Amino acid sequence: MPQPRHETTALSALVARVAEGGLSAGEAVGGALERLDAAEPDIRAWVRVDRDGALGAARRLDTAPPGGPGGLLRGVPFGVKDIIDVRGLPTECGSPLRRGRVAASDAPLVARLRELGAIPLGKTVTTEFAYFAPGPTRNPHHLAHTPGGSSSGSAAAVAAGVVPLALGSQTAGSLTRPAAYCGVAGFVAPVGGPLDTTGFAGLSHSLDAVGLLTPTVADLRLAYLALTGADRRPGPPEPPARPRLAVWPGTELAEVADTMRAALKHTADRAVADGAALVDVDWAARTPRLAEAHATVMAYEAARALATEATQPERLSAPLNELLARGRATTAADYRHALSVAERARTETLALLGDVDAVLGPAAPGPAPEGLTATGSPVLSRPWQLLGLPALTVPGHRDGRGMPLGLQLIGHPDRLERLFSLGHALEEAIGATGPV
């Protein structure tokens, strides 16, 4: 049976309590540290906890005069994936090759969160250089199951109720899959959008994207709006009027579990009952070539990004050595061809997303696999990450064992409010749905 999990406090609820004086920043951080101490022996989501730094930042907020520091996310404790720089803390990337490398400054995303009054609690576990070799983190819903790919520590920290917000990243399926496996909401920002990856240890410059993890889709929207300039708490998302969805089963790329197929069908049927229209697409003619091109681009760029590390193969995992060897063997012509495939397909897909509000599909082939030596397949994220499109993981479904089944929405980068609105509506519709 799934392990008991700690109650997750929604980001929006915490923001409201602090803003209204019902909770101090110190109490918010202290509560997070208590939950961390209770969960961490089982979950192992954190590689480093900055207790003194977090409590000190909270005290400064609580003792500041009116009009002092702090903004929309005042007092919110958050986790930071350990490929992202936090001033004064090591950025070790899950590798002994980076051990003890202390960041001199915050990544701009972390700096922006500090400006908003949020407080970094520490660094969360990542796989080695955000690739496949897993860290020690376990799935809060069942400790014998993987929490997913490289943003696993951030996803598990949110799912265990320790923090209501954590930073991650995605190059293949590094955020969507952990969000789906751990039963939380995830957002992969558009590549090249307003949330950039400066201060992140990169793996593939064409594919790397910022990721956010929160308990709910409404919380993702709140975090994104705050990061991009909102100066007050937004109202609830407006219900989408007669949305159009392209339902993508993903079966041309992966063996999708019956429970995941049932979750997708249930959600699509419910959307139709609520007024949505479904649009047919020939997916087999689109996604396999994109998944293949993604793998080519990722290998080629990773081999160059980690060229120095590749000179010490004995200190790298077998999966990472294999990726780098594949990248070194990839010709420049093959790389350019993969990029041209991406460019043409992005134009085609943006045209599709001009006609539909989102693509709705499985976020992973099924629930989190049993075992901690592998992180599951990222294949259902590869096509969309190649195109640099925003991806929203919508939680809510469970299988008969209580394991989460996440769905994903792929949207147009210029229509993010519509994407958040649709994701919120689907999450609300899924609601307390029983096992599928």
228, 229, 232, 237 alpha-carbon torsion, rounded to 10°: -40
Tokens at 2, concatenated? 């799934």
Q: Which is it for the CA torsion 233, 35, 82, 319, positive or negative?
A: negative
Catalytic residue among 12, 24, 95, 150: 150
* Burial status of residue 434 (CB atoms within 10 A of its CB: 0-12, 13-18, 19 or more): exposed
Q: Tell me if residue 174 is catalytic.
A: yes
What b-and-e string marks burial along 262-297, b requiring 16 or more CB atoms within 10 Å of the CB? ebbebbbebbeeeebebeebebeebbebbbebbbbb
Is residue 116 within 8 A of residue 106, CB to CB? The reply is: no
Looking up tokens 């519709």 gives 429
Q: Which of 174, 317, 377, 421 is catalytic?
A: 174
Side by side, the strands of the sheet bearing 46-49 are 46-49, 119-124, 77-81, 166-170, 209-214, 185-188, 391-398, 404-410, 358-362, 244-247, 277-279
To the query of whether residue 105 is one of the catalytic residues in this protein, the response is no
- Which residue's structure tokens are 């350019």? 336
SS3 397: strand
Going by C-alpha positions, the residue among 120, 113, 87, 122 that lies closest to residue 101 is 87
Whose CA is closest to 181, among 219, 209, 150? 150
Which backbone phi and psi does 100 adopt, to 5 degrees?
A: 80, 5
Is 265 catalytic? The answer is: no
- Among 12, 81, 152, 154, the one annotated catalytic: 81
User: Which residues are marked as active site?
Assistant: 81, 150, 174
